[in-house]
Structure 1
Amino acid sequence: MYPLGVAAAFEAAARLGYDGVEVIVLSDPITQDATVLRRLADRHGVPVTSIHAPTLLVAQRVYGATDPWVKIDRSIDLAHELQAPTIVLHPPFRWQREYAAGFIDGVAMREHERDVVLAVENMFPWRARQRHIQAYRPAYDPVPQPYDHVTLDLSHAATAGSDVLDMQAALGPRLAHVHLADGSGSMKDEHLVPGRGNQPCGEFLTRLAASGFSGDVAVEVNTRRGGGRTREADLTQSLAFARQYLAAAAGE
């Protein structure tokens, strides 16, 4: 919903018929405040179903901490307070050497000790002057890594040039969370409305529903370019697309 605030996101989710929201923890204090988020969820009847930890490049100073584990632990605290079952996080940046070296074990330990799903998201190589730069450790692709839970983002897969259906099949039950968007394979991470790129979004959702997937599908599309009517139309279309293909697989 950027550049609109958190309250606007809850209001739109309720009005358009979404089942829940994913809150990304950023510098906005509301995204870090369980009391305010719970109040918004109760007011609009839309629960927080997932928390996105502040592991983005723009979120390095969130929670006033430079230690990434502190930010992840604070995100786990927030998720527990809101009864949100899933936390999404990105793999470490390559310059975070100590964090990266212990990342796999640290994720596994926290899942076991704190009874939470930490779903590591697929990313993509950065590009400069037609060169690929490996910005993440141990890798931008979580599929070969020993994570118990993974988030698949279809826009990120498009940017990486990855086959998202192959990734889906390879992950099997480890696929815990989905960021639904589309992409054209551009060097930029586009987050298009599903159906507007070249990713097999419909087939992906059909296979997802047929597999007995019990996680959440979070719409993550870029609505910054349009005004209010365009944003609402994009969010409405994205929701209708998701419901169409998920229901078709379920025989509804």
Structure 2
Amino acid sequence: MSTAPNPIPVALSSASVYPLSVHDAFAVAQDLSFDGVEVMVTNNPISQDPHALKQLSAQYRQEIVSIHAPTLLLTQQVWGKAWNKIEQSCLMAREVGCDVVVVHPPFRWQNGYAEEFFEGVLDAQKRHGVKIAVENMYPWKVRGRELLMYLPHWNPVGRGYQHVTWDFSHSATAGMDTLDAFRQLGSALRHVHLTDGVGGGMKDEHLVPGEGNQRCAEALRHLAESAFDGVVVAEISTRKAKVVGEREEMLARTLAFARRHLAR
């Protein structure tokens, strides 16, 4: 007798409520009935404290589905050197009860770390029992010329990573098509940041899905029809919300869009 596949969870990234706090992310996730929270580690002390995060998870009945390592330019001072960021993120993931760690590819100037990244990720996964999902980024351009910012590349497709996180907005900025990338990645696609973008220049817009050019509905339906067993995480920008309730309305639309097109 055949059984229906499990529904794909839709979680909320704590980055989606910025400049509000991690605490606010858990509260909003509960209010809107998300299936969990991805915690982006930042300069905020609570985002670095597994005990505090577990308390928030219990208080708001929201599972922590993933830890986003502090590998952004803006978090270069968090947890010291590059490999320590990976180690601490893996340790925290295990402590809060999840097994996915999202990381950005190395910057070219991160000597040693960049050259050893591929093998180091495999080693860290094995030692900590987690899935380190390398996120797609986009080319940096000045006066129309691409700067070589990432090593080995900003695009994880075809690089041999066991696990990949795909971000729709980064795909738009890079001039790529998310649906095509999903097809190419196959079972390596582990984690998804749901958003959208129009692209052009260096804009990383993180729009509500459906407001850009990324064929979001078709890409989500592709996941629903596949064996994808990861999590889709809403990672839109709400920092321009001006009036009470506008942020929540944007996030509610994102959640409804995801559930509609991910239905199995």
Query: Structure 1-normalised TM-score?
Result: 0.96
Q: RMSD over aligned Cα, in angstroms?
A: 0.9
Between the aligned partners of 2:188 and 2:213, the Cα distance in structure 1 is 25
What SS does the aligned partner of 2:236 have?
coil
1:113 CA displacement: 2.1
2:14 match: none
Structure 1 residue 120, shift from structure 2 partner: 0.1
Determine if contact 2:36/2:63 at 8 Å carries over to the other structure: yes
User: 2:6 corresponds to which residue?
Assistant: none
Instruction: Kindly indicate whether residue 85 of structure 2 is the aligned counterpart of residue 71 of structure 1.
Output: yes
CA–CA distance in 2 between the matches of 1:20 and 1:145?
29
Runs of 4+ residues over 2 Å off in structure 1: none
Of structures 1 and 2, the one with the larger relative CO (CA 8 A, separation 6+) is: 2
1:174 maps to: 188
Provide TM-score, normalisation by structure 2. Answer: 0.91
Counterparts of residues 182-201 of structure 1 (less than 5 Å):
182-187=196-201, 188-201=203-216
Map 1:107-118; keep pairs closer than 5 Å.
Answer: 107-118=121-132
User: Letter of the aligned partner of 1:209 in structure 2?
Assistant: A
User: Counterpart in 1 of 2:117?
Assistant: 103
How much has 1:186 moved relative to structure 2? 2.7
| Cα distance per residue 1:166-214 (max 9 Å; x no partner) | 2111110110000000000232000000011111000000001111211
One-letter identity of the residue aligned with 1:159: T
Q: Which residue of 2 aligns with 1:229?
A: 245
**Could you say which residue in structure 1 is the equivalent of 2:54?**
38
How many residues get paired?
A: 246
SS in 1 for 2:124: helix
SS across alignment from 2:92? helix
Instruction: Say yes or no: does 1:83 pair with 2:93.
Output: no
Find the counterpart in structure 2 of residue 121 from structure 1. Answer: 135
5+ long unaligned stretches in structure 2: 1-16
In structure 1, what residue type is equivalent to 2:21?
G
Matched, 1:157 2:157: no
